[in-house]
Chain A
Amino acid sequence: MGFGDYFISALFLQAGYNSALVAIGAGLLGLSAGSAGAFIFLRKRALVSDAISHATLPGVGLAFIIMVAFGSDGRWLPGLILGSAISSAIGLLMVEWITRKTRLTEDAAIGAVLSVFFGFGIVLLTVIQTMSSGRQAGLENFLLGSTAGMLISEATTIAVAGAMAAGFVFLLRRPMTLVAFDPEYAATTGVNVRNIDLAMMGLALIVTVIGLKIVGLILIVALLIIPPVAARFWTNQVGKMIGIAAVIGGLSGYVGAVLSAAHAALPTGPIIVLVAFGFFMISALFSPLRGGLASALRHQRFQRRVHRRQGLLSLARREPIYDGLTIRILRRAGMIRADGVATARGRIAAEKAAHDEARWAMARRMLPDDSAIERYDGLTPIERMMTPDQIAEIDRMIHNAQTTQGAKA
C-alpha cells in the first residue's frame, strides 16, 4: 500500500485502531491548544507559553531518573507528564516572580528562564544516555514529538486531558475575555485578574505537558499560537475566533498525526505545525474579512470610487481633469469623450454628485452630532444614510440659503 492510499485510509480512520486513536488524540490536543491559545494570543503572552514548554524538559529528565531509581520503567507517561508539569509550573512562577519583584521586564525573565531550564534539561538527558537503562528511553522524542510506538493508554490519556482542557476554556471564556481586553476594568467588576492569568497559563501548561509526546516541547508553542492567529483573519468576534481556532488546531493535529503515521520517518510535531501553517497561509491570503487578497481588492475598489467621485465633481465645476487614473475610469464608464469633454451621461452623473456633495455639506452644518455624519465615508449617497424627512429638511435649508444669496446679489 502506497503512502497516498495509506494516508487516505488513515484520514478516515480505516488504518487500524491504534493509529485512529493517535489521530483522535492529536486532534483533541489541537482543539484544546487552539482554544486555550486564543486567549494567550489575545493577552499577548505567547512568549510566556514558550518559556513554559521549554521548562518542561528538566521535569521529564528528573521524573525518568526518579522512576528508574525506584526500580520501575522510566518511560511511564503519566509519571513523565507529572514531572514536566511540576518543573514548568516552577518555570512559570519564576517568570512571574522575576517580573514582579525585580526591575527586569517580562521578555528578559522569559529569556533567562527558558534557556536555563532547557539547558539543564539537555544536561539531564545526556546523563540519562549514559545510564544503562537510559539508552532505549527515547526521551529525545519529547523534543519534537513522535507517535511511533505510542500506547493506546497514552493516546487515551492525551485525548481525555485535551477534551477537559477545552472544556475549561469554555467555562472560563467570559472572565478570560474581559481580562484579555481590559484588565483594569475587569478588576473593578470583581474578576481576580491574577488568578485568571494563572488559570490561562495553567491551561497552556496542561496543553504543553499532554502535547509533549505528540508535538514535542520545542514546537508546542506553535500549536498554541498559529491557530488563533489564523482564526483572527476570519472574524471580529472573540467567541467565534475561539471556535475557529479550536477547529483549526484540531484539524492540524488530526491531519498532521495521520500524515506522520503514514510515513514512519516523518516527525509528528513538525508535520502538525506545518499543517497548521498551511491553514495560516490560507487564512492570511483568502479570508474575505481580513485576508490579504480581499483587503487589496477592497482598497482598490475604494480608490476607484474616490477617483470617480473626484472626477465627476471636477466635471460639475467644469475644471479640467489631469489624473490619468481618473480619466481612464470616467472614460470606461462612458462619462467623458476621448477629448475630455463630458458626455450627456457624464453631465447627469456629475450634477448628481455635486447635488449630493451640497446636501452633505449642509447636513454637516445642520446635524453635526448625527451618527450618519460620523459614519460618512465621503462617497455614499445621502439617501442611503439619512431618512427622507431629514433630506427634505436639508433641501429646504439649501433652497433658503440660495434665495437669500440671490436676494443679496
Chain B
Amino acid sequence: MSSAKLVAESGKILDVASKDAPLTVRGLTVSYGNKPAVFSVDASIPAGSMTAIIGPNGAGKSTFLKGALGVVPSLSGEVRIFGKLFEDARDRVAYVPQRASVDWDFPARVIDVVLMGLYGSVGLFRLWRARHREQAMECLKRVGMADFADRQIGQLSGGQQQRVFLARALAQNAEFYLLDEPFAGVDAATERAIVSVLKELKSEGRTVVCVHHDLSTVAEYFDRVLLINVRRIAEGPVETTFTAENLQETYGGRLAATHIDELHLA
C-alpha cells in the first residue's frame, strides 16, 4: 500500500469538506535533530469543536501544536488556519503555552501578563488606557482571578499561573484556542474553572484544541480526539474514535489493559 496515495486521498477529502476549518494540517513533519518528533501528521479540526490531542509522553503532542503554529520550524507539511496561512489569520488564534515554559520570577503582576494578550490590538507605541485595563480585568474575572490582579506572578500557585495564561488568551478574543496541557499539575478548583471557561468558549461557537493527558476526563470534557504517537493514529468524534483499540495502538504496551477497562469505552 503506498502511503503517498493515502495522503492524497485524505488531502482530497480535506479540500472538499473543510475549506475554512480552523485548522487543517497535511503531512506535518517536525524533527529535533534528525529524529522526527512528529511524522507526516494529517489533521482537520472542525469549527466549534472541542478536541483533545492524546498520546503518550514524548509522542509529539506539544510539538504538533507548536509546529502547526510555526513556533518550531517544520521539515515539511502544509498548515492552514481558517483556510489561510497562519501569518494571515494570526489575530483569530490564541495559544496557551505550557506554564512551565516561562520563568515566573519575571517582574510582572498578574494584570501585566493579561495585558500582553492586548499587545496585538494596542500596537507598539500607544499607551494603556482604562479601557484596556477593564478588558483585562474582565478576562481575569472569567477565570476567577480578579482578586489577584496586582499580585506578583511569582507568588501564584501552579493552577493560578495556568488560569492567568488562559486569561491572557481570552484577552485576545480569538475564534480558535490552542492550549498545551492546560490541566497538567493543577488543583481541582483550577480544573473546574478552566473547563467551564472552555465550554463557554465552545458555546459561543469558538473552537478549542487541548493537548491532554488525563484519559479519564476525555469523554467528559471533549467531543473530538486526535490520537498521536509521532504519527497520527486516529482522529474523530469521541464516541467512535476514543476506543480501546485505538488507545492500545496509540500507547502500545505502555497502557495497561486494566487502565483501558476502567475508562468504560465502547
Q: Which residue of B lies closest to A38 (CB)?
A: B107
Interface flag for A187 (CB, 8 Å): yes
Interface flag for A132 (CB, 8 Å): no
Complex interface: chain B residues within 8 A of A238 (CB):
106-108, 112
State A185–B71 Cα separation when bound (angstroms): 8
Q: Across the interface, do B66 and A375 meet the contact criterion of CB distance under 8 Å?
A: no
State A184–B96 Cα separation when bound (angstroms): 9
Query: B81-104 CB contact bits vs A (8 Å, 1 = yes)?
Result: 000000100100111010001110
A386 CB, min distance to chain B CBs, angstroms: 11
Contacts A175-B124, A184-B101, A188-B69 given; does A236 touch B108 at CB 8 Å? yes
Complex interface: chain A residues within 8 A of B189 (CB):
368-369, 374
Stretch at the interface among B3-11, B145-153, B200-208, B212-220: B145-153
Q: Across the interface, do B124 and A174 meet the contact criterion of CB distance under 8 Å?
A: yes
Complex interface: chain A residues within 8 A of B116 (CB):
177-178, 181-182, 185
Interface flag for A342 (CB, 8 Å): no
Contacts A171-B125, A237-B112, A368-B189 given; does A185 touch B147 at CB 8 Å? no
Q: Across the interface, do B124 and A171 meet the contact criterion of CB distance under 8 Å?
A: yes
Instruction: Tell me the residues in window 183-208 of chain B with beta carbons closer than 8 Å to chain A beta carbons.
Output: 188-189, 192-193
Q: Across the interface, do A369 and B193 meet the contact criterion of CB distance under 8 Å?
A: yes
Q: Across the interface, do B97 and A371 meet the contact criterion of CB distance under 8 Å?
A: no
- Which residue in A172, A188, A237, A241 is a CB contact (below 8 Å) of B71? A188
Complex interface: chain B residues within 8 A of A371 (CB):
144-148
Query: B55-93 CB contact bits vs A (8 Å, 1 = yes)?
Result: 000000000001001110000000000000001001001
State A189–B95 Cα separation when bound (angstroms): 8
Interface flag for A232 (CB, 8 Å): yes
Instruction: Tell me the residues in window 157-176 of chain A with beta carbons closer than 8 Å to chain B beta carbons.
Output: 171-172, 174-175
Interface flag for B119 (CB, 8 Å): yes
Interface size on A, residues (CB 8 A): 29
Interface flag for A16 (CB, 8 Å): no
Q: Which residue of A lies closest to B99 (CB)?
A: A182
Query: B118-157 CB contact bits vs A (8 Å, 1 = yes)?
Result: 0110001100000000000000000011111000101001
Complex interface: chain B residues within 8 A of A42 (CB):
106-107
Contacts A174-B119, A369-B144, A375-B147 given; does A181 touch B124 at CB 8 Å? no
Contacts A175-B124, A236-B107, A374-B160 given; does A184 touch B66 at CB 8 Å? yes
Q: How large is the interface on B (under 10, 10 to 19, 20 to 34, 35 or more residues)?
A: 35 or more
A182 CB, min distance to chain B CBs, angstroms: 5
Complex interface: chain A residues within 8 A of B112 (CB):
237-238
Complex interface: chain B residues within 8 A of A187 (CB):
69-71
Contacts A188-B71, A190-B120, A369-B192 given; does A236 touch B90 at CB 8 Å? no
Interface flag for A62 (CB, 8 Å): no
Interface flag for A310 (CB, 8 Å): no
Interface flag for A220 (CB, 8 Å): no
Complex interface: chain A residues within 8 A of B232 (CB):
none
Q: Which residue of A lies closest to B95 (CB)?
A: A188
Complex interface: chain B residues within 8 A of A375 (CB):
147-148
Interface flag for A235 (CB, 8 Å): yes
Q: Across the interface, do B97 and A181 meet the contact criterion of CB distance under 8 Å?
A: no
- Which residue in B102, B113, B120 is a CB contact (below 8 Å) of A189? B120
Complex interface: chain A residues within 8 A of B146 (CB):
371
Complex interface: chain A residues within 8 A of B152 (CB):
236
Complex interface: chain B residues within 8 A of A172 (CB):
124
Q: Which residue of A lies closest to B152 (CB)?
A: A236
Complex interface: chain B residues within 8 A of A189 (CB):
90, 119-120, 172
State A189–B112 Cα separation when bound (angstroms): 16
Interface flag for A180 (CB, 8 Å): yes
Contacts A174-B119, A188-B95, A190-B90 given; does A237 touch B124 at CB 8 Å? no
Q: Across the interface, do A188 and B90 meet the contact criterion of CB distance under 8 Å?
A: yes
State A369–B25 Cα separation when bound (angstroms): 38
State A185–B87 Cα separation when bound (angstroms): 14
A373 CB, min distance to chain B CBs, angstroms: 8
Q: Which residue of A lies closest to B86 (CB)?
A: A188
A311 CB, min distance to chain B CBs, angstroms: 27
Interface flag for B19 (CB, 8 Å): no
A168 CB, min distance to chain B CBs, angstroms: 12
State A238–B160 Cα separation when bound (angstroms): 20
Q: Across the interface, do B109 and A236 meet the contact criterion of CB distance under 8 Å?
A: yes
State A44–B103 Cα separation when bound (angstroms): 10
- Which residue in B87, B107, B144 is a CB contact (below 8 Å) of A237? B107
Q: Across the interface, do B97 and A182 meet the contact criterion of CB distance under 8 Å?
A: yes
Query: B150-185 CB contact bits vs A (8 Å, 1 = yes)?
Result: 001010010010000000100010000000000000
Instruction: Tell me the residues in window 216-272 of chain A with beta carbons closer than 8 Å to chain B beta carbons.
Output: 232, 235-238, 241
- Which residue in B101, B144, B147, B157 is a CB contact (below 8 Å) of A182? B101
Q: Across the interface, do A188 and B144 meet the contact criterion of CB distance under 8 Å?
A: no
State A58–B116 Cα separation when bound (angstroms): 41
Given contacts A188-B71, A188-B95, 16 further A-B contacts (CB under 8 A): A42-B106, A175-B119, A181-B106, A182-B102, A182-B116, A184-B95, A187-B69, A187-B70, A190-B90, A232-B107, A237-B107, A241-B107, A368-B189, A369-B144, A369-B193, A371-B144
16 A-B residue pairs with CB within 8 Å: A42-B106, A174-B119, A174-B124, A175-B119, A182-B97, A182-B116, A187-B69, A187-B70, A187-B71, A188-B94, A188-B95, A189-B120, A235-B107, A369-B192, A369-B193, A371-B145
User: Closest 10 CB pairs between A and B?
Assistant: A188-B95, A236-B152, A371-B147, A369-B189, A182-B102, A238-B107, A184-B97, A184-B71, A187-B71, A241-B107
- Measuring CB to CB, which residues of chain A are less than 8 angstroms from any residue of chain B? 42, 44, 171-172, 174-175, 177-178, 180-182, 184-185, 187-190, 232, 235-238, 241, 368-369, 371-372, 374-375
- Measuring CB to CB, which residues of chain B are less than 8 angstroms from any residue of chain A? 66, 69-71, 87, 90, 93-95, 97, 101-103, 106-109, 112-113, 116, 119-120, 124-125, 144-148, 152, 154, 157, 160, 168, 172, 188-189, 192-193
